[in-house]
């Protein structure tokens, strides 16, 4: 672990021979082609046009790898030394595709451009630090190849992802984000914020004990979050509805449910009852308007209508809790 963080055991680039530099370029091309194919596979269902673009880029990496292997065979023979990016100190690194893919189509495109740019800049800097003529030529050729790769990415994007397709993919990405995160998260926030009002404020006015009220709010919030999260994950696997991963939806729903309740439970850590209750009431006001804003922003519900529904419902539940607590 420490060797990966601090670079222990890695070789400086200046210590590599020309054969090792060529071997490093070959392994880098292999890795990049593999990454592009992973992108294409992950995007195939929702973004088929961009998937074709990444398949073409992977094929281009394969062609460059074949040329590099042939050059190595002519200069150094059949045996290619095993040397990869992680073996060289200061060499650029690649993010695993599972770290990039969830970030969305635009992030994946930006990552692809960065991949080509990193390789080009690295080779250009390596040329400056190399005095051997044949090594300088080799590195210069690699830098030019990476520049061509970056230009190719732009050409392929214009070919496979014109403006109307790009807008369509952006709309698809937004829709998937809403179905997977916003919708279940909003449902959880509404449930956690509204449904816990009655037990928390009933306990508060019944006992006038801030600590006991906090415990009631904590248990209600955590319990509701667990229940809502499991229910969301279990009732729909997302395959037919297209709502995405049940795990992601369950986490979004459960976490937001718990946060919705904890928002007005945490103020009761304040020892003074009326101060805690005033702060909790203010938090409830903010929570309800936040729900109305999210409904308007992502669900396209008219703001006044959303505000009326949420505030009215919250006010009724709040009043019920206060009345029950004072009974």
Instruction: Determine the Cα–Cα distance for residues 127 and 146; give it in Å rounded to an integer.
Output: 14
Has residue 168 been placed in a domain?
A: no
For residue 313, is it within any domain?
yes
pLDDT band with cut points at 50, 70 and 90 for residue 2: very low
Long-range contacts of 182-186 (CB under 8 A, 24+ apart): 182/294, 182/298, 182/299, 183/243, 183/299, 184/232, 184/249, 184/250, 184/252, 184/253, 184/256, 185/252, 185/253, 185/255, 185/256, 186/256, 186/291, 186/294, 186/295, 186/298, 186/299
What mean pLDDT comes out for the span 14-22? 80
Q: Which domain holds residue 311?
A: 173-326
Say which residue, 41 or 154, is predicted with more confidence: 41
Percent of the chain with pLDDT over 90: 2
Q: What is the pLDDT of residue 106?
A: 65
What confidence score (pLDDT) does residue 1 get?
41
The domain total for the chain is: 2
Question: pTM of the full predicted structure?
Answer: 0.51
Is residue 18, in this structure, part of any structural domain at all?
A: yes
Say if 219 falls within a structural domain: yes
Task: Output the average pLDDT for the chain.
Answer: 76
- Domain termination residue (choose one: 108, 137, 161): 161
Clarify whether residues 273 and 191 are in a common domain.
Answer: yes
Q: What is the mean pLDDT of residues 30-59?
A: 81
Q: With cut-offs at 50, 70 and 90, classify the pLDDT of residue 22.
A: confident
Residue 104 has pLDDT above 70, yes or no: no
Whether residue 152 is found in the same domain as residue 186? no
Distance CA(307)–CA(149), nearest Å, equals 51
177 and 291 part of one domain? yes
The three-state (H, E, C) secondary structure of 224-280, written as one string: HHHHHHHHHHHHCCCCCCCCCCHHHHHHHHHHHHHHHHHCCCHHHHCCCHHHHHHHH
Confidence of residue 162 (pLDDT cuts 50, 70, 90): low
Q: Is residue 166 part of a domain?
A: no
pLDDT of 224: 84
Whether 117 and 191 map to the same domain: the answer is no
- 69, 33 in Cβ contact below 8 A? no
Residue 188 belongs to some domain of the structure:
yes
pLDDT bin (cut points 50, 70, 90) of residue 149 is low
Whether residue 47 sits in one domain with residue 151? yes
């Amino acid at each position: 672990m420490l060797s990966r963080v601090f670079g222990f055991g890695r070789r400086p680039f200046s210590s590599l021979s020309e054969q090792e530099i060529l071997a490093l370029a070959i392994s880098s091309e292999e890795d990049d082609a593999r990454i592009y194919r992973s992108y294409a596979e992950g995007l195939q269902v929702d973004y088929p046009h961009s998937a074709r673009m990444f398949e073409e880029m992977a094929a281009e990496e394969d062609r460059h790898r074949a040329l590099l292997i042939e050059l190595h065979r002519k200069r150094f023979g059949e045996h290619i030394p095993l040397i990869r990016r992680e073996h060289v100190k200061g060499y650029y690194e690649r993010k695993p595709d599972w770290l990039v893919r969830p970030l969305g189509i635009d992030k994946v495109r930006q990552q692809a451009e960065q991949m080509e740019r990193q390789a080009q800049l690295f080779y250009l800097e390596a040329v400056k630090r190399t005095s051997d003529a044949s090594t300088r030529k080799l590195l210069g050729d690699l830098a030019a190849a990476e520049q061509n790769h970056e230009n190719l990415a732009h050409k392929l994007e214009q070919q496979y992802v014109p403006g109307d397709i790009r807008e369509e993919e952006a709309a698809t990405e937004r829709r998937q984000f809403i179905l997977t995160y916003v919708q279940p998260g909003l449902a959880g926030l509404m449930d956690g914020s509204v449904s816990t009002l009655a037990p928390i404020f009933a306990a508060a006015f019944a006992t006038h004990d801030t600590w006991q009220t906090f415990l009631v709010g904590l248990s209600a919030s955590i319990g509701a979050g667990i229940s809502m999260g499991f229910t969301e994950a279990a009732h729909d696997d997302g395959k037919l509805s297209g709502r995405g991963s049940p795990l992601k939806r369950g986490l979004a729903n459960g976490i937001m449910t718990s946060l919705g309740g904890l928002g007005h439970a945490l103020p009761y850590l304040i020892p003074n009852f009326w101060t805690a209750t005033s702060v909790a009431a203010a938090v409830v006001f903010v929570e309800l308007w936040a729900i109305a804003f999210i409904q308007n922003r992502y669900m396209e519900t008219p703001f006044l209508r959303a505000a009326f529904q949420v505030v009215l419902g919250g006010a009724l539940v709040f009043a019920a809790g206060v009345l029950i607590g004072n009974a």
